Structure 1
Amino acid sequence: MGSLQTNDRSRFPDPVYRETVLRPLFDGARHHHAEALRRIDRAHLVMLVETGILDAGQGAAIARALLAMEHEIDPAALAYGGDVEDYFFYMERELKARAGTDIGGRLHTARSRNDIDHTFLKLDLLPRIDRLLAACRQLLAALIETATRDRDVLIVAYTHGQPAQPTTYGHYLAAIIEILIRDIERIEAARGIVDLCPLGAAAITTSGFPIDRQRVADLLGFAAPLQNSYSCIAATDYLTSIYSAVSLLFLHLGRPVQDFQFWSSFEVGQLYLPNAFVQISSIMPQKRNPVPFEHLRHLSGQAVGRARAVVDVMHNTPFTDMTDSESETHEMGYQAIDVGLRVLDLLTATIRAGQIDPDRVAVNLSRSCATITELADWLVRSEGLSFRLGHEIAADVARAVVAMAGDLPTDGYPAFTTAFEHHVGRKPAADAAEFARMVSPEHFVAVRDRFGGPAPAALDAAFAGYREALDGFDRHATDIAQRQSAAAAELERRVHEIAKGG
């Protein structure tokens, strides 16, 4: 031993280390991880008894002590005193005080804080993911309901911030629905990585004892054990996968929120939020401020930023057990999910409450000549012109109608005949009534009945697929809940049997 170590008379913990590291970690553990550690102790005990690593008498003594601790210790009321390193050692000390040092110390056979830590971190993360997925399904249901209700409600679709073409609100929401379905699938896939149990890896390489890792995973409600023991204590892809998926979810949701705020502006007025969602100005009595969209935008940004922070912490970290991937990093992730739940609840409510203002849509469609593309298409189909020539005629008509501040269906026919004769050298076959019908927004939508289009038949087929996807997500969530409920009941039953000497 070196001279520095020989002469080192300092005592653990140093006061600064205690306050900056140990106390925050203890408080985080008692707040977030106490219940998960309780379940881990129970499941590990059952496995040790069932495999014969502990005999029935030893198991009974430990089980009775664990049950007593659950009744006698309130984690929320604990205060860190610095006399133990962390929450795990505090609970082990309490176990030894009740079961005896020798018997109490036997619970830690064939395990390590390494595999315990990653197991309780996963156990704490899974219900948070499940709450997030439940809120996603609620939003998905609201989007499908609203899109179905407003399947035929016209809106102005914008590109580059300018009016482009008419479509329907149902068609616009269907685009959001499809992205949300893919986001839910990404989160469910990431959840599958979280749902693999690390317990039994011990420090790194499993154990020389005849442990049953499958039994522990089953008792804790995991889908299966995580196979490679080094991966159990070193891999962080369960973190990077879930928080990458979470960041994408809220990045994607933030984009239509931007549209909704633009649509609800005084100048556009396409989307109306009822008074229950509108705040007033403290000085300007005429103001209606649809502030949910502002909150949705900045809360979505917070969710994205906090989720990305978790992923960034993993960058260039060693491929081994390390504190970077443990409690305090997880707490940042919990904040991302918590703020994300606020986004999902608020967005669900605003989707259900918001309504399209048909009068403002009609005005904006009229002023923008947004149906003019169909004129070019119609000239190709009906007059046999090339699309480029049809496009030039349509552009002339649009310029003339906009210059007179007119309405394309009612005021555009004279400009159309003039442009057509100029480019083609003859009169068009269509009369004024046919022209008005052909450039109407209703016709524009109706003829776009191809796969993925806004016409009713195309949308109805899409909605059927969306409902099927939602039903599948609901069934998957039910299956997981039933598996976890059965595991909890089995764990409760076996611990009490063991406590009785059974």
Structure 2
Amino acid sequence: MKSTSINREQASSFPSPTYAEIVLEPAYNQARQHLLNPMMAVNKAHLIMLREQRIITEPEALRIASAVLNLQVNELRTSTYSSRVEDLFFQVEYELEKLGGECTGNLHVARSRNDMGIAMYRMVLREKLSTAIASGLSLHRSLRDFASRHIHTLMIAHTHTQQAQPTTLAHYICAVSDSLERDLLRLQTAYAGCNRSSLGAAALTTSGFPISRERTAELLAFEDVIENAYDAVSGADYAGEAASVVQLAAVHLGRHVQDLLLWCTQEYGGIRVAAPYVQISSIMPQKRNPVSLEHARSLLSSAKGDAATVLGMMHNTPFGDIVDTEDDMQPYLWRSLSTLESVYRLLSEVIRSLSVNEALLRERAENSFATVTELADTLVRTEGLSFRQSHSIVSRLVRQLIESGKPISGLTWENVEAAVQNIAGKPLVLTRETLQRAVSPQHFVHIRNIKGGPSPHEVHRALSSQEIRLDRLEAWSRKTISKLSSVDENLNRILNGWLNGT
């Protein structure tokens, strides 16, 4: 039986060995790995629609259905490229014709590789987006669980890489999980932009046959159709949106990983990565390298790079069906999401296993000057000073302590009184007890109980609020994954029903 590949005047010389090696064979291999299942689902949905719309006859529909169901997909999945056909689409068409005869050619009535290809790309992308969201939700839960164990764990927060103010480890982790939540919501938005059907657009102008675009969309679990047929085969913003979100998500999470790596150093000594996630040195017996975090950082950079490649390949391309946004570009997008998803899973486990040196973090906070913002605030309250006056007084006191080599515990009531007298020219109202409380990191944290602050009560509230919001996203994630996983089962049930007369 002859090939169903497109006839060409140059058929005897197509393809050239170089073109096949560089373009066609890699594209074929990518397609059989990622696009074969979506291609078969599209074939089944299109066939069901053609029969329901009475565009093909009952006998044709049954014969094509038998061929589609009996196609050896696993053999195709392990097949190798042959120059006999141009791509996987024509290979599948060729195999269907062998099984069902010439009538299987009517499976291509009212469609094109253009609208098929975009639908398949979107089906692969939506699955990778939904998987990434599910894994990101797992990481979010690990972060929340970790934070709930460290609501009272004092630590020093840094600005410009320098000690700033006391906070808690939970307060910091809540900031990370809030950022992750926004990334997950952006991924959900990208999913919504992706999960729209191009089928029925055909080459770019739809078809003269009375097809139902809505029916194929429904059968394939798309939420809607892309209304304009030219847009359906030309628009690549669904890919650009996903790539942009991946870049943001990778950058945001990478910043947190960088902090964790710093905190693992002996000099900082704040956290310890569990044994299953560290490696030893081949020469230095003492080494305990937290390489799981290093791999997470480098993989996130890789995800960002692949996503940036997607946007780069889209740049300055014509607004139309064109290969720049297809076979060559799509694998970068898939890989970026797969990498992001894998890092979400890895970090979920690493975070769950972390141990924290709470005593060291507390001691560091108690011996630092990170609390003196509260001392300045206290002087405003007790002495009636402007904050700028108070700031000047406390700044002078800190300089004196540093120059004399003393920690914050070396600050005396007499020191404060002398500074206030010198600058404000008035006796000190502040009591010794209030002074001790003003430089306490525990007090600093507890009185910062307004929304977004580090007080235990407020962090409890923030975690509860996160839980409620993320429960909704988790419910959406479960429903979405279930809906996507049932597509093939539903399509096969319809086609088998035809053949069984039910």
TM surpasses 0.5:
yes
Matches within 5 A, 1:103-122: 103-122=103-122
Letter of the 1:301 counterpart = S
Post-superposition offset of 1:160: 1.0
Matches within 5 A, 1:318-337: 318-337=318-337
- Superposed CA deviations along residues 225-253 of structure 1, whole A, max 9, x for unmatched, are 22111111000001000111011001111
Post-superposition offset of 1:205: 0.7
Secondary structure at 2:376 match in 1: helix
Q: 1:69 maps to which residue? A: 71
Q: 1:175 maps to which residue? A: 175
Letter of the 1:80 counterpart = Y
Post-superposition offset of 1:356: 3.1
Q: Which runs of 4+ in 1 moved over 4 A?
A: 6-10
Cα 1:14–1:273, aligned 2, differ >3 Å: closer, same or farther?
A: closer
Instruction: Give me the whole-angstrom Cα distance separating, in 2, the residues matched to 1:345 and 1:118.
Output: 29
Cα 1:289–1:94, aligned 2, differ >3 Å: closer, same or farther?
A: closer
Q: 2:4 maps to which residue? A: none
Would you say the 8 A contact 2:45–2:219 is kept in 1?
A: yes
Post-superposition offset of 1:481: 3.1
Letter of the 1:119 counterpart = A
2:433 equivalent to 1:433: yes
Secondary structure at 1:428 match in 2: coil
Secondary structure at 1:166 match in 2: strand
Q: 2:242 maps to which residue? A: 242
Would you say the 8 A contact 2:51–2:57 is kept in 1?
A: yes
Instruction: Give me the whole-angstrom Cα distance separating, in 1, the residues matched to 2:205 and 2:434.
Output: 79
Letter of the 2:160 counterpart = H
Deviates more, 1:23-32 or 1:9-18: 9-18
- Superposed CA deviations along residues 296-354 of structure 1, whole A, max 9, x for unmatched, are 22111111111111111100111111111112311111221222123212221222222
Post-superposition offset of 1:490: 2.8
Instruction: Give me the whole-angstrom Cα distance separating, in 1, the residues matched to 2:454 and 2:114.
Output: 54
Post-superposition offset of 1:270: 2.4
Would you say the 8 A contact 2:146–2:352 is kept in 1?
A: yes
Q: 2:5 maps to which residue? A: none
The size of the alignment, in residue pairs, is: 495
- Superposed CA deviations along residues 191-236 of structure 1, whole A, max 9, x for unmatched, are 1111001111111111010101111111111112221111110000
Q: 2:48 maps to which residue? A: 46
Instruction: Give me the whole-angstrom Cα distance separating, in 2, the residues matched to 1:363 and 1:8.
Output: 79
Post-superposition offset of 1:132: 0.5
Secondary structure at 1:74 match in 2: helix
2:31 equivalent to 1:29: yes
Q: 2:460 maps to which residue? A: 460
Instruction: Give me the whole-angstrom Cα distance separating, in 1, the residues matched to 2:250 and 2:11.
Output: 53
Instruction: Give me the whole-angstrom Cα distance separating, in 2, the residues matched to 1:233 and 1:139.
Output: 36
Mark the runs of 5 or more structure 2 residues left unpaired by the alignment.
1-7
Instruction: Give me the whole-angstrom Cα distance separating, in 2, the residues matched to 1:251 and 1:386.
Output: 41
Would you say the 8 A contact 2:382–2:430 is kept in 1?
A: no
Matches within 5 A, 1:167-206: 167-206=167-206
- Superposed CA deviations along residues 133-180 of structure 1, whole A, max 9, x for unmatched, are 111100111111111221121111001111111001111111111111
Would you say the 8 A contact 1:140–1:180 is kept in 2?
A: yes
Mark the runs of 5 or more structure 1 residues left unpaired by the alignment.
1-5
Deviates more, 1:423-432 or 1:293-302: 423-432
Q: 1:381 maps to which residue? A: 381
Q: 2:288 maps to which residue? A: 288
TM-score (norm 2): 0.94
Secondary structure at 1:155 match in 2: strand
Q: 1:16 maps to which residue? A: 18
2:58 equivalent to 1:56: yes
Post-superposition offset of 1:10: 5.4
Matches within 5 A, 1:287-436: 287-409=287-409, 411-436=411-436
Letter of the 1:310 counterpart = V
Would you say the 8 A contact 1:450–1:458 is kept in 2?
A: yes
Instruction: Give me the whole-angstrom Cα distance separating, in 2, the residues matched to 1:158 and 1:355.
Output: 21
Deviates more, 1:410-419 or 1:364-373: 410-419
Would you say the 8 A contact 1:366–1:406 is kept in 2?
A: no
- Superposed CA deviations along residues 354-377 of structure 1, whole A, max 9, x for unmatched, are 233223223432443110111000
